[in-house]
Structure 1
């Protein structure tokens, strides 16, 4: 876990997903209650060496290694936590002292600490052991949501591929030579990884869906998941079919699926190296290790839809069946990660193919701009999870002079608008496009999406067809001839706030005089849609308050979805 992320968590303070523990010389006695409550509820981060008020007290260096050993051995012991959890505490030096951070993902099983079952409510760990209805509901929710953990009747060790266990051990060994699973027999490894478990509702005990997906023979997987497949295609020249393809589509175990998808990306995308400190980093590996790991770890395997990875001239796009928690783009700066298949994720972490929960999105955000200069990934949550990795960065910056005149902004905001539009990505297909081609790409999408939004009361009967647009006089020189005045204000606000700007400046730039009307008709609705936000939301009346464009607003303005 990086120091910057850790500082952000400390600043947030304790809550449902964050817990501080003072731990100078030993593991706090109530720590394992929190581990269990996080795993039973929505997951969270434990930080040792931080007091309740956020003061960094630290872990004494002489005791750090003992605390780390105690944590790992206890969490992996059924005497402490049952079923055991494989977690990796991480020491981080901050302000001259050591703290220890540990991410606890939500589990697909119900865990207890010394036979007591805890859940997380607000900032507290609540013991529900004697509340039979709540315990029953907890088991039922896990069973219904996490299809990976369902016990499959009559699935036996003979249905698994013996060679995959050896392959997995070799991969684990190269990642962590003292990993406890290395020294276990096959079935015991499955038990430790929660791939062999007891279903407390049916009282059946056995191998799970995740065990079949990771270790199953191809015939086993195809019998249990007949519609499951993963496609990999290149469409640069032949857009209707493909230039290259993984043939046949992947219907095999997840270990080989990962390896083959990664090899396909390596075949078609170039290497690029970067010096991170004194280490030479393969940026292609950093980015696509995370992207492909995310695809496999978060897929909903009960879905009949295929996973598709398509590489074209401009971007790599992956669509993946998903069990969503919300719908819309993921804000890379404030998202709260939630694993869809925690046991598969746990196994992939042991293989070295995924890191802590949420690292896939964070690392892609970190390394992609180094691989493709300035590029940012887009992740869109929904029943189909969509990942877009630009392979060429194109922004609205090159159109800033024409944009200023088109939406009739005050010329003194020319420099600000250029900075703002440089942060608005548009489709890489518009690389070297003309101004008219850019407008024909953007204007129809604004109207098509805007008319579906009640908050904005978007004017109807706006031209969206290319032929109708071209019939409008001076459509590419004056927005007032092409779009309703209200739409012009909305587009102007979004265009200006890519770089934060005060309300008075926004009004001056667009030539609007009445502050109350402007705030009521434009600013508030755009805030409600989460297209713009205050730079200081904790103090709405702050004298230096500005407005900035959100990820959702950027995607709308640049028509990236």
Structure 2
């Protein structure tokens, strides 16, 4: 876990998904209650060496390794947590002292600590063991949400591929030579990986859907999920069909599916190396290991829709059936990761193909700009989860001077606007487009989307087609001729805030005098839409307060999906 993320978590304070524990010389006695409550509810992050008020007290260095050892042995033992949770605590130095971070994903099973079941409510771990209805509801919710944990009647060890166990052990061994699964028989490995479980509602015990997906023979998987398939295509020249394709589509186990998708990407995208410290790293491998791991770990396997990976001239796009936790683009700076298939993720972590929960998105954000300069991935949550990896970039920066004149902004903000527009991505096919072509691409989309948002009160009768726009006098020179004044102010605010800027500066740049009216009519509605946000939301009246454009706002302004 990176220092920046840790400091961000500490600054948020304790809550439903964050817990601090003082731990100078030993594991706190109530830590395992919190581990269980996180796993039973929505997951969370435990930070040892942090006081309740957020003070970084640290762990005494001579006791650090003992605490780590005690944590791992206890969490992996049914005597402490049942079923066991295979978690990996991570020591990190912060302010010259050691702390231990441990991410606890939500589990598809109900766990207890010494026969006591806990759930997380607000900042507390609540014992619900004797509340039969709440325990029953907890089992039912997990059964309904996590289809991977469904026990499949009549699925037996004979339906699994024996060779895949050997392949899995070899992959695990290359990642962690002392992993406990290496020394267990096949059925015991499945039990410890929660791929063999008891369904307390049906009283059935046996192999789960996740077990079939990871270790099943092809005939087994196709019998259970006849519509399931994963497609890989290249569409650079032939846009209607493909230039290359994975043939036949992948309908096999998840281990070979990962290898097949990764090989297809490696075939069509170039290597690029980078020195990280004294290590030479293949950035392509770093980025797409995470991307493909995410696709497999988070797919909703009960869906009949295909997973599709498409490489075109400008981007790699993956669409994946999904059981969404919310809807919309994921803010890479503040998202709360939520695993869709925690047991599959746990197994892929053992293989070395995924790391801690949420790391796929964070690592893609970290390494993609090293592979494609200044590129940022886009992840959109919904019934179809969409991943967009830019392979070429185009931004609004080349249009900065025309943009400033068009919106009639104060020339003193030319430099700021240029920096701001450099952070707004547009369709790469517009990289060499004229100013007029750019406007014809953007203006209709603003109106089509803006009129659907009632709290913006977007003016009606704005031109949305090319012919109507071109009939407007001086449409490419003055936005005042093309856009209603309210729309001009909205676009100006969005254009200026991609680079953080103070409210007074925004008003000066657009030529608006009344602060209350400006805040009420423009700033607050854009905040409510989560298109802009304060840089210091905890202290709204801070003298250095600024506003910045969010990912949703950037996507609107640049007409991205």
Whether TM exceeds 0.5 here: the answer is yes
Matches of 1:411 and 1:335, distance apart in 2: 36
The CA distance in 1 between the partners of 2:483 and 2:390, in whole Å, is: 30
Unaligned runs of 5+ in 2: none
Asked whether 1:75 is paired with 2:79, we answer no
Deviation at 1:51, TM superposition (A): 1.9
1:414-472 Cα deviation digits (max 9, x unpaired): 11111111111111121111111111111111111111100101112222222322222
Classify the secondary structure of the residue corresponding to 2:445.
helix
The size of the alignment, in residue pairs, is 561
Change (3 A) 1:54 1:539: closer
Partner in structure 1 of residue 272 of structure 2: 272
Question: 1:183-213: CA deviations, max 9, x gaps?
Answer: 1111110000000000000000000010011
CA deviation profile, 1:15-51 (whole Å, cap 9, x unmatched): 1111111222221111111110010001111111222
Does residue 443 of structure 1 match 2:450? no
The residue that corresponds to 2:219 in the other structure is: 219
- Equivalent residues in 2 for 1:76-475, closer than 5 Å: 76-475=76-475
| 1:497, distance to aligned residue in structure 2 (A) | 0.8
Q: Which residue number in structure 1 is paired with residue 519 of structure 2?
A: 519
CA distance in 1, matches of 2:338, 2:540: 30
Alpha-carbon distance, 1:11 to partner: 1.9
Report the alpha carbon displacement of residue 474 of structure 1 after superposing the two structures with TM: 2.1
1:491 is displaced (CA, Å) by: 0.5
Q: Residue 514 and residue 4 in structure 1: after superposition, are their counterparts in 2 closer, same or farther (change >3 A)?
A: closer
TM-score (norm 1): 0.98
* Whole-Å separation in 2 of the counterparts to 1:450 and 1:93: 47
Partner Cα separation in structure 2 for residue 357 and residue 97 of structure 1: 25
2:13 is equivalent to residue 13 of structure 1: yes
Higher mean Cα deviation, 272-281 or 501-510?
501-510
Corresponding residue for residue 59 of structure 1:
59
Residue 198 of structure 2 aligns to a residue in which SS?
strand
SS of the residue 1:423 aligns to? coil
Match of 2:424, SS state, is coil
Equivalents in 1 of 2:338, 2:420: separation in Å? 32
**CA 1:173–1:120: 2 relative to 1, 3 Å:** same
Give distance in 1, aligned partners of 2:21 and 2:88. Answer: 17
User: Aligned partners of 1:516, 1:18: CA distance in 2, in Å?
Assistant: 37
The Cα shift of 1:299 comes to 0.6
Deviation of 1:237 (Å): 0.6
Q: C-alpha separation between the residues in 1 aligned to 2:462 and 2:112?
A: 59
**Secondary structure of 2:418 counterpart:** helix
Residues 545 and 57 of structure 1, relative CA distance in 2, 3 Å threshold: closer
How far is the alpha carbon of 1:513 from its aligned partner?
A: 2.3
How far off is 1:129 after superposition?
Answer: 0.2
Question: 1:160 & 1:469 partners in 2: Cα distance?
Answer: 62
Displacement of 1:295 after TM fit?
A: 0.5
Q: Quick one: distance in 2 between partners of 1:90 and 1:21?
A: 15
- 1:532 to 2:527 alignment: no
Secondary structure (helix, strand or coil) at the match of 1:261 reads: helix
CA distance in 1, matches of 2:516, 2:474: 32
Cα distance between partner residues in 2 of 1:215 and 1:444: 50
Q: Take 1:516 and 1:256, find their aligned partners in 2: how far apart are those partners?
A: 60
Task: Tell me whether 73-82 or 56-65 shows the greater mean CA deviation.
Answer: 56-65
1:518-552 superposed Cα distances (whole Å, 9 cap, x missing partner): 21111111111011111222222223222111111
Distance across 2 between alignment mates of 1:236 and 1:337: 33
The aligned counterpart of 1:558 is 558
Shift of the 98–504 alpha-carbon distance from structure 1 to 2, 3 Å rule, reads: closer
Q: Tell me how far 1:14 sits from its aligned partner.
A: 1.4
- Cα distance change of structure 1 residues 504 and 95 upon mapping to structure 2, 3 Å threshold: closer
Q: 2:173, 2:43 → 1: CA distance? A: 27
Secondary structure of the corresponding residue to residue 136 of structure 1: helix
Q: 2:3 corresponds to which residue?
A: 3
Aligned partner of 2:480 in structure 1 is 480
Q: Secondary structure at the match of 1:493?
A: helix
SS in 1 for 2:206: strand
CA distance in 2, matches of 1:174, 1:18: 33
Q: Give, in whole Å, the separation in 2 of the partners of 1:501 and 1:47.
A: 34
Question: What SS does the aligned partner of 2:16 have?
Answer: coil
For residues 92-117 of structure 1, give each alpha carbon's deviation from its aligned partner in whole angstroms, at most 9, with x where no partner exists. Answer: 12222221111100000000011100
CA deviations over 1:395-415 (Å, ceiling 9, x no partner): 111110111111111111111
CA RMSD, Structure 1 to Structure 2 (Å): 1.1
State the partner residue of 2:499: 499
CA distance in 2, matches of 1:482, 1:319: 36
Distance 1:276 1:467 in 2: 53
SS in 1 for 2:419: helix
Deviations 1:297-347 (A, max 9, x none): 001111111111111111111111111111111110000000000000000
